[in-house]
A and B are shown apart, each in its own frame.
Chain A
Amino acid sequence: MFEFFQKLDRRWIFLAMFLAVAIPIIIQLDFEETPTDLAHRVFDAIENLPDGSRVLLSFDFDPASEGELKPMATSFVYHCAAKNHKMYIMALWPVGPQMADDTIENVIKEDFPHMQYGHNYVNLGYKSGYEGVIKVIVTNFTELYSTDTRGTPWNAIPMCTGVESVQDMDLVINISAGYAGTKEWVQYAVTAYPDQIRMVAGCTGVQAPLLYPYIPHQLEGLLGAIKGAAEYEALVVEKYKLEDDPKYHEGIRRMGPQLVAHLLMIFLIILGNVIFFIEKKRGGRR
């Protein structure tokens, strides 16, 4: 037995992890979320804006991190739409516009069919140049975004008239999977214009620890990984009575597998250490 664990083939671990994730998904294991302060801050930043405010949403992620970030994007867009905010959607990642299109299809077109493209929301698309894009649009949108993703000239988009730069936005929401993302937005937009630009963000778990130093001055709130998404989702669901719509429960639904997977990790670490100590006691090789 000990021998088996000592030389445990990693494929057993892979199998255990597969089951730890698959079983909770199949039996739809989920738990109630208690939102932490950070999620409340994100929620309040959007909720407390006057109805019809201008919100810039930057979709800086790709399909790889969709699992963590899509639930956030869905809730962000729902929340903004419910508040009737004007949504200016853009991306620093090449596939960002596709991720945005997906969310627009699922949220705006399904649940807010009265919202008009160009009046209530606009997809400005992707621009290459990473933080360079932020540096430019923070003072002038039209220098880079002469048209939206459909090729409509900037001045012909009704909701873009009177918008000159990011500073004209009432809030910036960034959904980020890495570089370029939240850190660059903080460094080149919020830090450069602390009085004009307010920002909240949702990011992957790996990034979150690096962004905590920016809270609360440069970042009003932060949703870290699926946990943050679930907390924020819980707040949106509660406020807008979305208990029956499964697409607004994606984050909460993913917390079940996450719990079991984390417990498995703890078990594996303990198991590894037990083996380590037994080996040590027996005076065996490390």
Chain B
Amino acid sequence: MKRTIPLFLTAIGGFVLIIAYYIPHTQGWGEVAAIWFDILAAIAFLLGGGNLMKIHLKKISDHKAGWAYSVITIIAFLATLTAGLGKVFSPPSMQYPDMAWSGSYREIGSAFWWLFEYAFKPLTATMFSMLAFYVASAAFRAFRAKNFEAILLLGTAFIILLGRTAAANWVTGWLPESWAGLKLENVTVTIMQVFNTAGNRAIMIGIALGVAATSLKVLLGVDRSYLGGGKG
């Protein structure tokens, strides 16, 4: 029973939506399903928040390695939640200047805005910028001219790396206009638009078929391991 009902819901939902796609009268059903999912996902926030508290409080109480990080996590979580829900220091909106809570939680000057601007933004940007370091170390380690294909890949990489900077102009800027197609920046665009696109499309077609087959297996209940039931 625990497996049958979810499988039944999956199958009904999936097939109805597939059929609805072809029938103009029912084309709004997809949106309805998307809204249902949003509602479920919103409820899941509570589940997530509860679980986060539980795991970290347990870590703290057990004094597990790194429990201090859990303290920081919980403080940050509660502080952000309070700042957002309570609209702390949030000025009232222009329409209702007399109502204290009428402003948006992320109005300029509010506590949430401050957290976003001076904590979240720099932290996220830092995480993203770490990519530059990892790309460099991965390139150093993995980019080896082991065979002919790898050599082709290396050559292409050099063209793209140079073509995306001002160096392209130094290397091939002297070429006359009639040879403009051979300028590095244009070669870069051609590589991306033609060769890269061709390869990408092949991968995409494979993926699309994989998605279709996997979805069908899920809808038919052939593959139910995601429900925790290998054989069924």
Contact = CB atoms under 8 A, between A and B. Distances in A.
Contact of A150 (B94, B146, B158): B94
Contacts of B167: 259, 262-263
Given A17-B136, A36-B185, A67 B200 contact: no
B143 A273 contact: yes
B154 interface: yes
A171 B36 CA distance: 32
Given A32-B166, A38-B189, A210-B200, A65 B140 contact: no
Interface in A44-68: 62-67
A34 B163 CA distance: 12
Given A149-B104, A268-B140, A67 B129 contact: yes
Nearest to A267: B140
Contacts of A62: 124
Nearest to B164: A227
A273 B196 CA distance: 24
Interface string A203-226: 001001110110100000000110
A16 interface: yes
Contacts, number: 141
Size class of A's contact patch?
Answer: 35 or more
B186 interface: yes
B118 to A, nearest CB: 11
B217 interface: no
B125 A36 contact: no
Given A17-B133, A149-B104, A63 B121 contact: yes
Interface residues of B, number: 55
Interface string A129-154: 10010011000000000000111100
Contact of B164 (A8, A66, A225, A272): A225
Given A98-B113, A98-B117, A150-B104, 19 more contacts: A10-B140, A16-B136, A17-B133, A38-B189, A63-B120, A64-B127, A64-B128, A95-B116, A101-B108, A135-B31, A151-B93, A151-B95, A212-B197, A259-B166, A262-B161, A263-B167, A265-B136, A265-B161, A271-B140
A165 B204 CA distance: 31
A242 interface: no
Contacts of B164: 205, 225, 227, 258, 262
B132 interface: yes
A77 to B, nearest CB: 17
Nearest to A14: B133
Nearest to B106: A98
Contact of B140 (A37, A63, A258, A269): A269
A21 interface: yes
Given A8-B140, A32-B166, A129 B34 contact: yes
Give 7 closest A-B pairs by Cβ, nearest first: A31-B166, A64-B128, A63-B121, A259-B165, A268-B140, A10-B137, A132-B34
B162 interface: yes
A269 B132 contact: no
A164 interface: no
B188 to A, nearest CB: 9
B201 interface: yes
A237 interface: no
A64 B104 CA distance: 23
B145 interface: yes
Contact of A208 (B132, B140, B192): B192
Contacts of B124: 62-64
23 contacts: A10-B140, A14-B133, A16-B136, A17-B132, A34-B185, A64-B127, A64-B128, A66-B121, A66-B125, A97-B106, A101-B108, A150-B93, A150-B95, A151-B102, A209-B192, A209-B200, A212-B193, A212-B197, A255-B165, A255-B166, A259-B167, A262-B161, A272-B139
Given A150-B95, A269-B139, A269-B140, A67 B189 contact: no
A272 B142 CA distance: 8
